[in-house]
Amino acid sequence: MKQCVVALALAILFVFPVIAADPAPIQPPPASGPATGLADLAALRATVFGTPPQDIAVLPQKVPLLEMDLALPWARPVPAVFWFNRRLRVWFSAQDKPAPLAIVIAGTGSGGNTAKLAILRAVLYGAGYHVLTMPSPTFPGFIVSASSTGVAGDLVQDGRDLYAAIQQIIAHLPRKVQITDIDILGYSLGGANAAMVKSIDAAERKVGIHRALLINPPVSLFSSVGRLDKLYAITLGNGDAGVERFYQKLYAELANRYRASDRVELDEDFLLGAAASILNTDAEFSAAIALTFRIALINVFFAGDLYSDSGVVVDPRHPPNVNDSMEETFRILRGKPFSEYFTKVFAPYYLRRRPNSTVNELIAENRLDFIDDALRGDPDYYALTNSDDLILDAAELDWLKRTFGARIQVYDHGGHLGNLGDRQQVADMLDMLGGRWKGGAQ
Amino acid sequence: MRANGALIVLLLVLGGCASQEVRYRQLPPDTPAANNAVNLEKALALAAQAASSSKNAKPETAGALAPITPAEAPPLATYDPWGPFNRSMYRFNARFDEALYLPAANHYRMLPSPIRAGVHNFFGNLAEINSIINYTLQGRLGRGVRSLGRFAINSTFGLGGLFDVAEKLNIPRAPTGFGTTLAKWGMHPGPYLVIPIYGPSTLREGMGLAADYGTSYAVNVANLYRGGQSWALGVLNAVDQRANVDFRYYASGSPFEYDTTRFLYVRKLLIEDTGLHRTRPAKNPNLDAPAGE
C-alpha cells in the first residue's frame, strides 16, 4: 500500500507536469461546406480564365509607371536564399494634376504588378486616380522586406505591416504629386487586408484613408484556405503522386496538341489555345485552381518556417544558402496542406507572441467579423463579390450581405475574380470609390 | 586600363552600390487599351480556330503517330548535374539584368514603336539566313524556301529588312537554329545549362547558339558581323531581344524560381522536340535520372 502511495506520488510529481507541458496538438481550423464553396462549373471556368477581353471596361491608351524599391527601417536581416527581396517593390502611376490616391493590394501570394492589378490600375488611372499597387503581405517579397514577423497570414499583423509600409511609401512619393484624398482596395485576400488597414487607420489616423473597397474577399481566411486544401486533396490526392499524375496528363495533352499543330515554337498563344481545350471538367478546373493556390502557399510556408525557426522543412541550424538546391524542399512543401502551416508554424509562433491567446482566438482574429463593428457602422466600407465565389460558403455570403447592407454588390456569375475589370464591375467600383453608390440590386 | 575601369564600374553596379533608402525607376508607360485589343484579337482567333477544327476534325489515319501517353512524360525532376554553376549563373544574370540589361531595354522601349519595329525586323531578317541553312539541314525544304522567300522579299521591298512585308503577304516568321537541327538529328537536350547573360538553355541549345553565331560570322552579310560596327550592332540586337521578352528575374519573389524556371524551360524544349520527330525518339536515360545536385 505504501509502495502504491509512493508510486502515485511519483506519478503526480513527474508524469502530470509532463502532460501539462505537452498540450494537445493544435487542430487545424475546420473548413465548412463543399470544397468548391459556392462555385459551379461556369464559376470554376471563369476563375481560371478571368474576364474575357470583349467584356473588359474601356481602358486608357497609356498609363505612366514608376517602380519604387524601398528599404524599410524595420526590415529584419535577410536570409541568404531571399537575397533578391531586400527591398519592397511597389508601382506608382501619377496623374499630372491634384487627384485622389487609390492604393490597391494584391491577392494571396501575389506581387504588386500582376495582370489583375494592371487592369485595376488602368481603370482607376483612367478615372483620374493616382494609383499605387502593392504586393500581398503573403508575397515573399513583402514578407522579407516589410513584415515585422516573417510569418504571414495573420490579418491583424499583416494589416499593421501594410499600414507601416504605406506610410513610408506615401512619404517617398515624388514631390510633385498632389493627393486630394486616399482610398484603399484589394482583391481576394487583399480585400480583407484593405479593410484591416482602413480600420487601423481609423484608430491611428496617420494616413487618412477615406473609403475601402473589398473585391471578392474571404470572410474567414482559414475556412477559405481550408476548403482549398480539401479541393487539393479531392482532385490531386495527398502527397506527390497526384501532382505527378496531373503533370503527366497535362504534358501528354500539350505534347500531342503541339505535334498535331504546325508551329515551330511553343509560345503563349499556343498555351492559351491548349488550356482552353485541355481543361474541361469540374475536376480539371478544380485541380488547376488548387495547384495554383498550393504553389502560392509554398513560399508562405517556407518563409514562415525559416523566420520562425519552426524546423518543419528548414533546419534552423543550417538554413539554405544561395547555391543550395531547393528542389527537395520544394517537393516536400508541394505535399503540405495549409492546415500544416497553421498547426506547425503559424499557431505556435503567434501563441508564443501572444501567450494569453488561444487557438480559437487566433482563428477568430482572422475573420472579417473581427472588425464587424467598423464594417457595419462605417459607411465608407464597400464590397463587390459573386454569388458563385469558390472561397465563400452560403453562410459567409449571407454574412457579407447582412454586414454591408446596401454597400455591397453581389453579381450572379464570375466565380472568384472571374469578372474583375468587366464593364459593370468597374462602373460599380468607381461609383463606390467616388461616393456615388446608390445601392445595388442583390 | 580602360577595360579594368569598365570592370570596376560593372562590379559596383552588380554589387548593388546604390544603397539609398528609395530607388526609383521610370518604366515605359503601360498600354492597357492596346494590350486588351491584342488579347481580344487572340481570343477571336482562338474561337475561330476551335470552330474550324471541330468542323474539320478527321479521324486518325492508320499512318498517324500513336499519341504520347501520360506515362511517357519525363519525370518531374530535371537533369541538372551542373546545378551549383547554373545557380550562380542564374544569380549573376539576375543582377546583370537588374543593373544593366533591363534598364537599357526599358530606355529602348521608350523609343517610338516604328523605330523599334524597324530594328526588330532588321535583325529578324538577318536571322532568316540561319533559318534557311538550318531548315535545309533538317530536311524541311518547304520551310527553307519560305524563309528564303521572306529574306528576298524583306531585303528588297522591305528596305533591307526594316519592314516585314512578307508578314503582310501572310508568310509569317518561323525562325529556327542549329539547336533545333541537332534535335531533328536525334540529339537530346542534354543537361540544363544557364548561359551568362543569355539565360536558361541546355548543352545542346548552347552548342546550337554558338553554331548560329559562327554561321552568321562566316556568312557575314554586308560585313555586318566583322566590320567596326559589329559590336554596336551586337549590343543593339541584344537590347532589342531583351525588350521583346516579358520576363523579370525574381518577379515571383520565390526562392524556388530557379527550379520552376528550369522545369518549365526544359518541358517546353522537350515538347518542341516531339514536334520534330516523325518517329518516337529513343528514351533518354539522362532524363530519367534524378536531378544531379
Write out pLDDT tens, residues B218-249. Answer: 988 888 888 888 999 999 999 999 999 989 99
Asked whether the predicted pLDDT for residue B279 surpasses 60, the reply is: no
Residue A39 predicted with pLDDT over 60? yes
Q: To probe the interface with A, which of B22, B65, B146, B194 has the most A CB atoms within 10 Å?
A: B22
Reported as a pLDDT band with limits 50, 70 and 90, residue B162 is very high
pLDDT of B49 over the 90 cut: no
Shortest CA gap A255–chain B (Å): 5
Q: Is residue A14 part of a domain?
A: no
Averaged over A82-106, what is the pLDDT? 97
CA distance A284 to chain B (A): 15
C-alpha pair distances (Å), A173 with each of A114, A190, B20, B138: 21, 22, 15, 56
* Least trusted range by pLDDT, from A175-184, A376-385, B38-47: B38-47
- Chain B residues near residue A251 by CB distance under 8 angstroms: 68, 70, 73-74, 267, 271
Q: Distance between CA atoms of A117 and A288, rounded to whole angstroms? A: 21
A120 and A261 share one domain: no
Confidence band for A18, pLDDT divided at 50, 70 and 90? very low
% of chain B at pLDDT higher than 90: 69
Calculate mean pLDDT across residues A401-426: 96
| A265 & A347 share domain | yes
Q: Cα(B216)–Cα(B33) distance, rounded to whole angstroms?
A: 39
List the domain range (segments joined by +) for residue A76.
49-220+368-433
Residues A395 and A274 in one domain: no
- Residue of A81, A113, A264 with shortest CB distance to B255: A81
pLDDT in tens, A234-290: 888 877 788 888 889 889 989 988 888 878 788 877 887 787 778 888 888 888 888
pLDDT for B56: 59
Please state the rounded mean pLDDT for residues B164-181.
94
Q: What is the mean pLDDT of residues B170-179?
A: 94
Residue A198 is part of a domain; what is its CATH number?
3.40.50.1820
Residue A64 contacts residue B29 (beta carbons within 8 Å): yes
How many Cα atoms within 13 Å fall on the side-chain side of residue A172?
A: 23
User: Is the distance from CB of A85 to CB of A70 less than 8 angstroms?
Assistant: no
Question: Of residues A163 and A16, which shows the higher confidence score?
Answer: A163
Chain A residues with CB under 8 Å of B293 CB are: 325, 327
A1 in a structural domain: no
pLDDT, position A437 = 94
What's the mean pLDDT when you consider all of chain B? 86
Q: According to the model, what pLDDT value does residue A45 have? A: 87
The predicted model scores a pTM of 0.88
Query: In the prediction, which pLDDT does A216 show?
Result: 97
**Structural domains of chain A, count:** 2
Residue B291 predicted with pLDDT over 50: no
Is residue A41, in this structure, part of any structural domain at all? no
Return the residue of A nearest to B29 by Cα.
A64
Q: Does residue A377 sit within a domain?
A: yes
Domain assignment of residue A399, yes or no: yes
A61, A135, A140 member nearest B254 (Cβ): A140
In the prediction, which pLDDT does A83 show? 95
Show residues of chain B in contact with A177, CB under 8 Å.
none
Beta strands A88-93 and A63-70: pairing type?
A: antiparallel
> How confident is residue A22, by pLDDT bands cut at 50, 70 and 90?
very low
Q: Which pLDDT value is given to residue A296?
A: 86
ipTM at complex level? 0.86
Q: What is the pLDDT of residue B1?
A: 42
**Mean pLDDT, range A374-399, rounded to an integer:** 94
Mean pLDDT of A145-160: 95
Cα B211 to Cα A238, B132, B184, B208, distances in angstroms: 46, 14, 15, 5
* Listed residues A353, A380, A401: the one ending a domain: A353
pLDDT (0 to 100) of residue B103: 95
pLDDT value for B264:
93
Q: How confident is the model at residue B166 (pLDDT cuts 50, 70, 90)?
A: very high
Which of A294, A321, A353 lies at the terminal end of a domain, its last residue?
Answer: A353
Q: Per the CB < 8 Å rule, is B29 touching A299? A: no
Q: What is the pLDDT of residue B229?
A: 87
At A10, the pLDDT band (50, 70, 90 cuts) reads very low
Residue A204, classified by CB atoms within 10 Å of its CB into exposed (0-12), middle (13-18) or buried (19+), is: exposed
Round the CA-based radius of gyration of chain A to a whole number and report it: 23
pLDDT above 70 covers a percentage of chain B that reads 84
Q: DSSP string covering A368-424, please?
A: GGGGHHHHHH-TTEEEEEETT-TT--HHHHHHHHHHHGGGEEEESS-TTTTTTTBHH
Give contacts of B34 with chain A, Cβ < 8 Å. 61
pLDDT, tens only, A178-235 = 999 999 999 999 999 999 999 999 999 999 999 999 999 999 988 888 888 888 888 8
Query: Is A193 found in the same domain as A228?
Result: no
Parallel/antiparallel/unpaired status of strands A63-70 and B199-202: unpaired
Q: Which of B113, B256, B264 to mutate to test the interface with A (most CBs of A within 10 A)?
A: B256
Of the pLDDT bands very low, low, confident and very high (cuts 50, 70, 90), residue B289 is very low
Same domain, A113 and A256: no
Distance CA A142, CA A193 (A): 13
A200 and A160 in contact (C-beta within 8 Å)? Answer: yes
pLDDT average, residue stretch B26-43 = 93
Specify which residues A105 forms β-bridges with: A134, A186
pLDDT of A423 > 70? The answer is: yes
Query: Which of B30, B58, B85, B131 should we substitute to test contact with A (largest number of A Cβ atoms within 10 Å)?
Result: B30
Rounded to the nearest 10 degrees, how much is the dihedral formed by the CA atoms of B280, B286, B288, B293? -150
Same domain, A198 and A270: no
Residues A259 and A287 in one domain: yes
> Is A361 a domain residue?
no
Residue B159: band (very low, low, confident or very high) from pLDDT cuts 50, 70, 90: very high
Higher pLDDT, A189 or A39: A189
What is the predicted pLDDT for the residue at B129?
95
Considering only the beta carbons, identify the residue of B69, B254, B255 that sits closest to A252: B69
pLDDT one-digit tens code per residue, A306-357: 999 999 999 999 999 998 999 999 999 988 888 899 999 999 999 999 888 8
Residue A218: the pLDDT is: 94
pLDDT at A350 (0 to 100): 94
Report the alpha-carbon distance of residue B32 to residue B38 in Å, rounded: 10
If you measure CA to CA, which chain A residue comes closest to B175? A264
With beta carbons under 8 A apart, name residues in chain A contacting B247: none
A58 and A159 fall within a common domain:
yes
Whether A415 is in a domain gets the answer: yes
Give the chain A residue nearest B292 (alpha carbons).
A325
Q: Are residues A326 and A385 in the same domain?
A: no
**Do A175 and A102 share a domain, yes or no?**
yes
pLDDT for A9 beyond 50: no
What is the model's pLDDT at position A235?
Answer: 85
Mean pLDDT of B73-78: 90
Is A301 inside any structural domain? Answer: yes
Residue A170 binned pLDDT confidence (cut-offs 50, 70, 90): very high
Considering the domain architecture, whether residues A216 and A245 belong to the same structural domain is answered as: no
Phi and psi, residue A216, nearest 5°: 45, 55
Last-in-domain residue among A328, A353, A378? A353
In this structure, how many other beta carbons lie within 10 angstroms of the beta carbon of residue A176?
7
- Mean pLDDT, residues B47-60 taken together: 64
Q: Could you tell me if A198 and A237 lie in one domain?
A: no
Averaged pLDDT for residues B30-49: 89
